Structure formats: C-alpha cells, structure tokens
Amino acid sequence: MVCTMAFLRALLSTARMIRHSPPLSAGLSADDAVLLDAPDERLSPALVAAALGDHEPAAKLLATTRDSADWENRDRYLGHLVAFARGRDGWLVDWLAAAPRDPDALLVKAELSVRRAWESPARAERLREVGPMITAAADADPRDPVPWRLALDHARGTHATHTAFESLWEQAVRRSAHHYGCHVAALRYLSAAWYGSHRECFDFAEQAAEDALPDSLVQALPVRAAFALLLDSQAAGRTTSVLEERIDTAADLAIELSAAYRPGDPWPAEVRNLLAYVLLARGRWAEALHQFNLIGLHATSFPWSSVSEDALGRFLDARDGARLQVASLTPLRDRAGHGRPRGHYA
C-alpha cells in the first residue's frame, strides 16, 4: 500500500506539472532573451565605444556620476567597465595616457589592478603592490566613497587587522553612510570564510538594514548573509534552527525591498537573483518563481557563478526548477469551484 500511494503521488505530481507548467511560463522571459549582467541604456554606449577603442563615453559616464554624487551607479558602472577591461584594456591605456590624473581613469585603473591581483597565486603580495593606486584614486576626489570600497576589499585580501579595517570603514561611511558597495565589502570581511562568523555577519547585516534609508539596497544585506550561510550549510549538510529563522527573516525583508522596484528594473536585479536563490534553498517555490518574473531579462553572475561555472545556465535551470515545483504543487482542479456550473454565467 505504501508503494502504491507513493506511485499515485508521483503520478499526480507529473499530471500537475503537465497541466500547470505552460501557464506558469507565461510571465517568464524566453530563455534565449535572458542576458547575463546586461548593461543599462547609459552604460551600453560606453561599452560599445570602449570595444572600438574610444574611452570618451566611459569617461563622460563616470564623470557624470562623480559630479552628481551618484555613488551607487558609479560603483556599478565601474564594475562593468573593469570587467570589460580585463579582456580588452587598450581604451583604458589610451585614457590614462591622455589624462593621467583623471579621477575616473585612476579609479578604473585601481579596480582593474586589484581584480588582477586577486587572481594571482601570490594574492596578498600583489595586492600590497597596488595599494598606492587605491590611494591615488582616493586622493583624486576626496568626496568619493568608491575608492574606499576598493580599499576595504584590498584590506580583506591583505589580511588587515580588525583595527585597520575599522579605520578604513570609518573613512568610507564618512563619505557615504549608506553606500551599498562599502557595506557589502564589510560584510565579506566579517564572513565566516574570512575574519568573522555567520552570527557576526548576520548581526552586522541586520543592524545595517535597520538603519538603511527606505528602499536602499543595504536592506538586502541580511539575505547576502543568508546566502553565505546556505553555501556553508550545504557543504556541511546542516544548519541550526536559530539561523534558519534568520534566513527566512532576511528573505522576507528582501521580498519587501524587491516589491519597491518595478518589474524588470536592472538596478535591483542582483538582489532579486540572490533572493530567488535563497527562496529556492528554503523550498519557498512560489515566492522564488515570483522573483524570477520580476527579474525578467536581467540574470546576474552573482549568486549563480558561486555555485556553477555556467552562471546563465544555472539561472535558467533554477528558474525552470521553481516553475516545475510550483506546477507540481498546484491542485489539478480548483477545489473551491468543484461542482459549480461552468456555463455562461459561471
């Protein structure tokens, strides 16, 4: 009888998936339309020009963010430009030759140097060598918090003490008290993988989220802490119930944050991708599927690259998995409407 019931449940689950999967796919972008780390309308022309060897659009874009103190977008655009420069940096070389003291060019140079140093087997030594580049970028515009975010990342890789890190953190938040990138850098330093623990990570993230401005991405810090814990827990095969409660609370807060932005908005895309991952890990299939609907075309490398070499493929597989799970749990018929007349006036 037990085997028969299990077989019947499997049959019902399959029938539900077949019936409900097509409607659930209606709100999702087609697989071949989804882009990984797609640039927005301001960044795209700068990347196209850089591919042609022209640094001027990138220079104008970063100068605009600096002049308007748009530090969040400045950090985000910097990341995309540096990712491109890792493979093709001729435009950056020309930019530095033309304007060796340009604050924006110095910032791109420093970030690129730090990323390359992180890839070296002699990471700490290489990072120490690029320290003066970070200092030069910070001195070029004392208002800018982004070089201090870079300094925080640099400090983590050079095994800076807590005291040294706190000094850098003070400089960062003095320039922008709610800068998301600086908070992420601090969270990484405090993580169990580096110089802290999961509890320290959650404590910092939850307090920062509580202090954050309305609709600030800093409110997503707890879900980043949750992700780090989930990765460790999956490797170890266990978590504690107390930390599981904090994971779910973090996810709930991130759901509220996600709802504050329009569907398909590229700005919260990474947070939504991260949230979808955490919701899937917690078996909250319908909520995860809703986040995939909100994500639209904007898959992001993080968090998927942390669990797969094929970040886009992992994203698409996770999205399909959420859809199939929701379909398998949806009743074949609406029980509340069972037996009602189905004519014109139903």
Long-range contact list for 72-78, CB < 8 A, 24+ apart?
72/179, 72/180, 72/181, 72/217, 73/42, 74/144, 74/146, 75/146, 75/149, 75/179, 75/180, 75/181, 76/267, 77/42, 77/43, 77/46, 78/107, 78/108, 78/111, 78/146
> Are 315 and 306 within 8 A, CB to CB?
no
Instruction: Output the six-digit token pair for 114.
Output: 């730090």
Neighbouring-strand partners of residue 299: 36
Number of neighbouring beta carbons within 10 Å of residue 337: 9
* CA distance to 231, 244, 344, per residue, from 238 (Å): 10, 10, 54
| Pairwise CA distance, residues 306 & 205, whole Å | 20
* CA distance to 19, 161, 183, 260, per residue, from 167 (Å): 58, 10, 14, 34
Instruction: Output the six-digit token pair for 51.
Output: 């591919």
Q: CA nearest 59: which of 200, 67, 317, 288?
A: 67
Reduce the DSSP state of residue 298 to 3 states and report it.
Answer: strand
Consecutive sets of 10 residues in the chain, 346 residues long: mean pLDDT of each?
Answer: 49 44 62 92 97 98 98 97 96 98 98 96 94 97 98 96 96 96 97 94 96 95 96 69 88 98 96 98 96 96 96 96 87 50 33
Q: List helix spans (H) across the chain.
A: 2-25, 43-51, 56-67, 71-85, 90-98, 103-118, 123-140, 146-157, 162-175, 180-190, 198-211, 221-236, 241-259, 269-281, 285-295, 301-304, 311-329
| Pairwise CA distance, residues 161 & 163, whole Å | 5
pLDDT at 346: 29
Read off the pTM.
0.86
pLDDT at 193: 92
Please report how many Cα atoms fall inside a 13 Å half-sphere around the Cα of residue 195, on the Cβ side.
20
Q: CA nearest 221: which of 245, 194, 185?
A: 185
Q: Where do we find the tokens 């003066």?
A: 132
Q: Where do we find the tokens 């609907």?
A: 293
Q: CA nearest 263: which of 288, 298, 302, 287?
A: 298
pLDDT at 327: 86
pLDDT at 218: 97
**What's the distance, CA 69 to chain centroid?**
22
| Pairwise CA distance, residues 345 & 343, whole Å | 6
pLDDT at 310: 96
